[in-house]
Amino acid sequence: MFEIIDYNCNTKLQNMDFSPNDSFLKTELTNRLKKLEKQLDADVMSFSGAIHEQLSAKVLAVIEDLAKNPKKRKTLYIILTTTGGSGNAVDIYVNIIRKHYEIVNFIVPEYAYSAGTLFCMSGDNIFMDYYSVLGPIDPQVQNKDGRWVAALGYLDKINELIKKAAPTAENPNGTLTNAEFVILKEFDLAELRGYEQARDLTIDLLKKWLVQYKFQNWVKHETTPELLGQEVTKEQKIERAKEIARILGDASFWKSHGRPINMEALAEMKLKIEDFGENETLKTLIRSYYDFLRDFTNKIKASLPPQALPQFNFLHTRTFI
């Protein structure tokens, strides 16, 4: 059953059986997106699912189709929901989007982990509310078995084993067990290097985009007591970006690839987040669209084989569904 809720009167209108290909469902979803576009005076694209290079051509087609529309605006809002993916893919997506849009803002109604967090850092503004979360910037890399794995988790474990293997005054032969020695010995060095490169790329992109986009309108200091009111220099922007990248990229600090990071934690890093919950009209429109979108995509995913779910993606604009 698919439930439709009228958010203006907060009552359930009807319960109906839907196919994901139902034209009514698609029309309703697009109408809700158009209401959000009108409120924001901007184009809107929603992106749900994994972030991978294979999707780049689809992102290109969707953005170019929206950009050539006679009613194109200069600003794009991206409603993002993702568990993450490839940092390389994010780099490609950002290059595509920035070719066509002067201002790019992100809305995170629920979660945008890992590469999704990196994607958000390419925006001019990030909109969240108390329910929304980002995550550590832990890029996912395909291992030799073809599985997508969290790079920082592997690197963190390898570094731990290397430290245990190092001799100390108390343990001249280190504290590495035989089982751990086998793990360390059999680890593919080329694969390890790929994880290191993915980590380095992610950190470099985050620092670059924060300075170039997120901090471009950061003109005066607002939080550091001894600098309040003073103009922000480029060097200070670079240092702030380095610090945010260091914190978000510290796997040992966050403990988990999927650790949720809310607005309060991001504010402690001195990363400015816009709270869409403070605007009742905007909050209602975002949740109206997103709840409908989530039910719609869940309906699609229910029809897919389990092995296809990790690669699931759904893009939506007023011109594409």
pLDDT tens digits for range 260-274: 999 999 999 999 999
pLDDT digits (tens, 9 = 90+) for 154-179: 777 777 777 887 888 888 777 878 87
DSSP three-state, residue 166: coil
Mean pLDDT is lowest, of 9-13, 39-43, 196-200, 234-238, for 9-13
Question: Span 18-40, mean pLDDT?
Answer: 88
The pLDDT of residue 21 is: 61
What is the enclosing helix (H) or strand (E) of 66?
Answer: helix 56-67
pLDDT > 80? residue 84: yes
Tokens (6 digits) for 99:
């070719």
* Alpha carbons 311 and 142: distance in angstroms, whole number: 12
pLDDT band at residue 205 under the 50/70/90 scheme: very high
pLDDT band at residue 14 under the 50/70/90 scheme: very low
Q: Look over the chain and give the mean of its residue pLDDT values, rounded to a whole number.
A: 87
